[in-house]
A and B are shown apart, each in its own frame.
Chain A
Amino acid sequence: MTSHSRGRALVPLLSLQARSLLYGLGVRRGRGRARLLGAAALVVLLAAVAVGYLWALGSSMVAAGAAGAIPALAALAGSLAAVALVFVKAPGTVFGCRDYDLVAALPVPVRTVVLARTAPLYGFGVALSALLSAPLYAAYFTSAPASPAAVSTAAAVSVLAPLAPAAVATLVSLVLTSVAVRFRHAGAVQLALSALLVVAVVAGSLALGRASSGVDDAAALAAMGDVAGALSSAVASAYPPAAWEAAAVREGSLAGLLAFAALSLALPVVVTLALAARYPSVNAVATAGPRRRARPAATSRGAMSPLRALTVKELRRIGSMPFYALNDCAGLLLMVAAAVAIALFGVDALLASGVVDGARLDAQAVAAMRAQIDAALPWVFGFCGAMSLTAGPSVSLEARASWLMLTAPVGAGTVLGSKLLANVTLGGVAAAASAVALLAGGTAPLVVLQCVVAAVGMLTGFASVALAIDASRPNLSWTSPSEVVKRGLPVMVGSIGGVLASFGLALLSVTAAGALGPAASAVVNLAAPAACALGGLAFLRAVARRGLPGPGWGE
């Protein structure tokens, strides 16, 4: 096959990837234009926030005299974003793809097939890196000479920086995926690894917060500059290309730039060729099931009521989908983490430490605001409960197995009730664990009661609303669960509504505490979540009474 025909094959394969992306966003035969525009607007908004934040960070570093660390930080920011993207998207895009058999049977060189999968991924990585590096370099060049050569070099390394790490991330992702799929509960293994990562990030940021407490902002920024400088040195010693990159930007080293460019371009090419050379084996290891062992004959367990059996099924689904669990149970993990932190350090110490963003109060201020703090505390738990809506996408997640739900001899109330019950069970366990931690830490029982009521009430209310919306208009034809778990209307309405309501009710409670005293805020904290739960349940009941399938089930 000539290079011309290879190129001709690449274009339709890339076009297929683009169509797959659009389909994933919900664009179907001319429909979904509003959704596409909405997604574009959201991307622009997020990009603007990221650019603004990084510009402010870069400017602060320049002001603190830590401008020299910016090139390393820019490379790191771009590379980390690309690495995260590749980690998440490579399984299913580059290897372990559903359409492997189809593309493997095409009369196209395997190299072209793999290139069509890696190129868009690395392209997105490059775009992300350019976006994140630009504001940092803009700040950098306010203190360093912005000669055309220096600016061109900075632009080149911004684009090149993520390529080599992304290529390595592809291989690491392949290794991790092929290890995880060997376990019978591959999802749980991935969940555990992801949870470990989250814990490490949270612990790291807490440690940084504690390290910088008690110093003024300028000193904290200077410390950050030192950290970045040390990080730059560490990265350079562990990863020599970072030193070439820094020399290219800071000293205009042509040799450094060429060496960095050669490595950044060569590594993705080598990885793509290596994957292409062993593509069938690569897909086989990435999709291998658990090792088969001789199992004792499966035996039936005892009988359960339909509601309990369906609830257990829902809990099994959540446990089997790490992506779903991580998105919809993160608030519950945060809830327990917050309760443990309060039990260990106390609310006062946490507010005084500066760990809580935007709040650094001295002991006197904390004492003066005791009533307001107690009034607001339950809404930390209400907020966490309101963003943990596993029930939100649960009807859509039935997808092609929805026939089971529709033909089961149980009412819609039982089917939807089981989904809500699974959600409330998880929330209840998290709230109970939090209550035990708070009581052990010496929090007043009435405040603990308010925390539990806020968490469970907000979760029940907004999970019911999200579930009712999903049952009314489910998306049963998704191609990736992220379409319904992350971008689905029920989850968005439920969680955004829940979070906004939590903030609003917290404000009301704090105001009531200030104006009328602690008893008034306690009434708000107990009555508002209960009302929210009852309102949500009434909405869900109205939808359940119409039965399944209802209007909007794809007809």
Chain B
Amino acid sequence: MARPILEVSHFRKSYGAHVAVRDLSLAVAPGEICGFIGHNGAGKTTLIRSVVGAQPPTSGTVRVCGRDVWREPVAAKRLMAYVPDNPDVYDFLTGMQYLDLIADVFGVGAEERRRRAGELAARLELADALGEPVSAYSHGMRQKLVLTGALLHDPALLVLDEPFVGLDPSASHELKAILRERADAGGAVFFSSHVLEVVERLCDTVAVIRRGELVASGPTDEVRGSASLEDVFLELVDEKDDFVVARRTR
């Protein structure tokens, strides 16, 4: 089996006395798209922010292509890209200025960035807006811009937090195609989502988190069994939650 692109081992994150994520381990191999699902406040964004180097874990390790994100941050970050749930970028730049900034920071050459930015912006129908200031962009356009920037340096690992929120149907369709292409090319994709139908159709593996604990993970077909992912998710999430069970059976 190929060495995983993303390896999270015994990850724990606490804020004072509150433990947000406890002893979580998972891996995403090359060619895999992994869906990360859980209810609101389960700890998805906490883990994702630590994976991309935005927030240190309390204990445990995160490795990307064997590089420890918190010991070799620059080398690890060079191998991945992040699309946050809220695509807040610098309002004072135009779309192209933003892409140039990202390309410079990730060391993408002039010719390569021109080609890739052109291709990606055309696919996401953003090309005509790249000369406009980001302040004039809608949420969906910002999402497309951040996504374009994330793919400029051809990352081995793409990490996305709720990437389908705010995208129009055609951009959403295009994003799914892009994610599949990246996996087929040997990259890895790790994303969180509440849209279980998309996760079920798109992802090779899924990981389910509940109150900071991983309650299921593995190939999508195995986790789902003969039921739908939605049914399995509700069962897993409700299993230890009497209040929710009582509410669902009312």
Contacts and interface: CB of A to CB of B under 8 A. Distances in A.
Interface stretch (A301-309, A375-383, A423-431, A522-530): A301-309
A426 to B, nearest CB: 16
B77 A408 contact: yes
Contacts of B108: 303
Nearest to A397: B90
B93 A298 contact: no
Contacts of A297: 127-128, 130-131
Interface string B43-55: 0000000001111
A321 interface: yes
A306 B77 CA distance: 14
Given A407-B53, A555-B15, A300 B113 contact: yes
Given A400-B86, A403-B84, A409 B136 contact: no
Given A289-B135, A298-B94, A303-B110, A410 B101 contact: no
B15 A313 contact: no
B187 interface: no
Interface in A305-323: 305-306, 308-310, 312-313, 316-317, 319-321
Given A406-B54, A409-B76, 7 more contacts: A297-B131, A313-B90, A313-B101, A400-B88, A403-B54, A409-B75, A409-B107
Interface residues of A, number: 41
Interface in B53-105: 53-56, 73-78, 82, 84, 86, 88-97, 99-105
Given A303-B109, A549-B54, A316 B92 contact: yes
A409 to B, nearest CB: 4
A305 B130 CA distance: 22
9 contacts: A297-B128, A299-B114, A309-B104, A310-B105, A317-B90, A399-B88, A403-B52, A410-B105, A555-B55
Given A306-B107, A409-B78, A547-B73, A299 B53 contact: no
A292 B107 CA distance: 33
A292 B96 CA distance: 17
A289 B136 contact: yes
Contact of A306 (B52, B53, B75, B105): B105
Interface centre among A296, A310, A320, A404 (most CB of B within 10 A): A404
B133 interface: yes
Contacts of A238: none
A106 interface: no
Nearest to B161: A403
A316 B89 CA distance: 14
Contacts of B52: 403, 406-407
Contacts of B229: none
Across the A-B interface, the 3 shortest Cβ-Cβ residue pairs: A309-B104, A320-B92, A298-B131
A489 B155 CA distance: 39
A303 B56 CA distance: 31
Interface in B102-122: 102-110, 113-114, 117
Interface residues of B, number: 48
Nearest to B52: A407
Contact of B89 (A289, A306, A317, A404): A404
A234 B110 CA distance: 63
A409 B54 contact: no
Contacts of B74: 409-411
A549 B55 contact: yes
A98 to B, nearest CB: 13
B99 A401 contact: no
B101 A407 contact: no
B46 to A, nearest CB: 11
A213 B127 CA distance: 63
A295 interface: yes
Contacts of A308: 104
A521 B77 CA distance: 50
Interface string A161-193: 000000000000000000000001001000000
A187 B52 CA distance: 34
B104 A303 contact: yes
Contact of A409 (B15, B93, B105, B109): B105
Contacts of B53: 406-407
A302 B109 CA distance: 8
A295 B131 contact: yes
Nearest to B117: A300
A310 B90 CA distance: 12
A555 B103 CA distance: 30
B179 to A, nearest CB: 19
A101 B56 CA distance: 37
A502 to B, nearest CB: 31
B92 A317 contact: yes
Nearest to A555: B15
A300 B99 contact: yes
Most buried by A among B77, B84, B90: B90
A434 B242 CA distance: 74
Candidate in A187, A300, A408, A549 with the most chain B CB atoms within 10 angstroms:
A300
B34 to A, nearest CB: 19
B155 to A, nearest CB: 10
B133 A184 contact: yes
A402 B171 CA distance: 26
Nearest to B113: A300
Given A289-B135, A303-B109, A321 B54 contact: no
A409 B102 CA distance: 10
Interface in A402-450: 403-404, 406-411
Contacts of A399: 88
Nearest to A306: B105
A300 B96 contact: yes
A321 B110 contact: no
Nearest to A551: B56
B54 A407 contact: yes
A259 B131 CA distance: 55
B88 A403 contact: yes
A248 to B, nearest CB: 49
A308 B135 CA distance: 23
Contacts of A404: 89-90, 102
Contacts of B77: 407-409
B56 A309 contact: no
Contacts of B109: 303
Contact of A401 (B88, B94, B104): B88
Given A320-B92, A401-B90, A406-B54, A304 B104 contact: yes
A295 B95 CA distance: 13
Nearest to A184: B133
Contacts of B102: 404
Listed residue (A306, A320, A401, A407) with the most chain B CB atoms within 10 angstroms of its CB: A407
A77 to B, nearest CB: 37
Contacts of B99: 300
A407 B102 CA distance: 11
Contacts of B105: 306, 309-310, 408-410
Most buried by B among A303, A306, A547: A303
B96 A401 contact: no
